[in-house]
Amino acid sequence: MTDIIAAAGIVLLVIYLFGIAVGMIVTACVSFHHDPLKGRAPDSTCAGTRRLVGVGMRDARSGQSAEHPDTQHEPGRRP
pLDDT in tens, 6-15: 999 999 999 9
Structural domain that includes position 57: 2-71
Pick the closest to residue 57 from 65, 49, 45, 46 (CA basis): 65
Total count of domains within the chain: 1
Average pLDDT over residues 54-60: 64
76, part of any domain: no
Is the pLDDT at 38 greater than 60? The verdict is yes
Q: What is the pLDDT of residue 67?
A: 52
40, part of any domain: yes
38, part of any domain: yes
Say which amino acid occupies 29: C
Indicate the average pLDDT of the chain. Answer: 79
36, part of any domain: yes
11, part of any domain: yes
Q: What is the pLDDT of residue 8?
A: 96
26, part of any domain: yes
65, part of any domain: yes
Is the pLDDT at 72 greater than 90? The verdict is no
